[in-house]
Amino acid sequence: MVAVRSLVAETPLVDARREPFDAREFAQLAASLPNGTWFTALVPAQLVRLVDLAECEADARDALRRFSRILVGGQAIPSGLIDRATAMGIRVTKTYGSAETAGGVVYDGRPIGDTRVRIAEDGRVIIASSSLADEYHGDTELTATSFRVDDGTRWWFTTDLGVLDDGELTIFGRVDDIIITGGIKVSLGDIDRVLESAGVDAAASWFADDTWGQVPALVSTSDLDREVMRDLIERELSKAARPYRFVAVSELPRLSSGKIDRRALQELVARDDS
């Protein structure tokens, strides 16, 4: 979509893709760009590294200020990250969208273009837009359940949970982030946010239990004090959210987008009964 935006706006396109992503190298590339109007799109994990660097190095800070706008999306944005960037004069816009919408269609909580957003009865975000995909290739069943027509308008039913407040959209979780433990709903996304606020490199998952149905678990990159974690999560959320299985790994599994791979996490937890 960066390439498409460049073509539509008739602006030059610079390939900044590097594997793995290196914040200092990206900042140096940004500093070397000729004068003009520049935009880029990042995932939050990349912006975190850049903001950390910019807070320590003036050259990196100046380089990031050269962008007229940095679009950031693709996963949950850490609390306070946008404020940290804004305080340094770095212009960031939060985007929400997906492959099904051909990229971001909600900027800073507000639909753009002809996009319309509603909240379904089950709390899911549903979207109508001229940029919606036609179908899931080869999957007529998923197409039929995900794309539906209501009052002559074609809507896409996302797997995200959200609220609309005075027309502004806030995403607070995903349908597949919700587990039921002892009849009580628990959001794995909420647990993740508690861990993030506490500076714990871990992610929430779950395991099956004959008595409780689904029980929260944690996958972390170091051994955690179990009682401390349980007390923290119960205090911030609820007793039902307390994790009862802990798995330590060298690195948290992620999708190519940088998001936590929930399926891989659950497989790790299912194999480990510690």
Mean pLDDT of 35-44: 90
Q: From 1.10.274.100, 3.40.50.300, 2.30.38.10, 3.40.630.10, which CATH number describes the 111-172 domain?
A: 2.30.38.10
- Using the predicted structure, report yes or no on whether residue 257 has a pLDDT greater than 70: no
Asked whether 160 and 171 are in contact (CB, 8 A), the reply is: yes
Q: What pLDDT does residue 245 have?
A: 94
Confidence of residue 274 (pLDDT cuts 50, 70, 90): low
Residue 5: CB partners within 8 Å, gap ≥ 6?
39
More confident position, 172 or 64: 64
Torsion sign (Cα): 196, 174, 83, 25: positive
Rounded Cα gap, residues 88 and 66, in angstroms: 12
- Using the predicted structure, report yes or no on whether residue 178 has a pLDDT greater than 70: yes
Mean pLDDT of 213-218: 92
The model's pTM is 0.72
Query: Among 12-26, 109-123, 174-188, 241-255, whose mean pLDDT is lowest?
Result: 174-188
Question: Inter-axis angle of helices 58-65 and 23-32, to 10 degrees?
Answer: 60
3-state helix/strand/coil string of the chain:
CHHHHHHHHCCCCCCCCCCCCCHHHHHHHHHHCCCCCEEEEECHHHHHHHHHHHHHCHHHHHHHHCEEEEEECCCCCCCCHHHHHHHCCCCEEEEEEEHHHCEEEEECCEECCCCEEEECCCCEEEEECCCCCCCCCCCHHHHHHHEEEECCEEEEEEEEEEEEECCEEEEEEEHHHEEEECCEEEEHHHHHHHHHHCCCCEEEEEEEECCCEEEEEEEECCCCCHHHHHHHHHHHCCHHHCCCCEEECCCCCECCCCCECHHHHHHHHHHCCC
Q: For all residues of the chain together, what is the average pLDDT?
A: 91
Kindly indicate whether the domain formed by 182-271 is annotated with CATH number 3.30.300.30.
Answer: yes
Q: How many residues does the chain have?
A: 274
Mean pLDDT of 163-191: 87
Confidence of residue 211 (pLDDT cuts 50, 70, 90): confident
- The values of phi and psi at residue 196, to 5°, are -60, -45
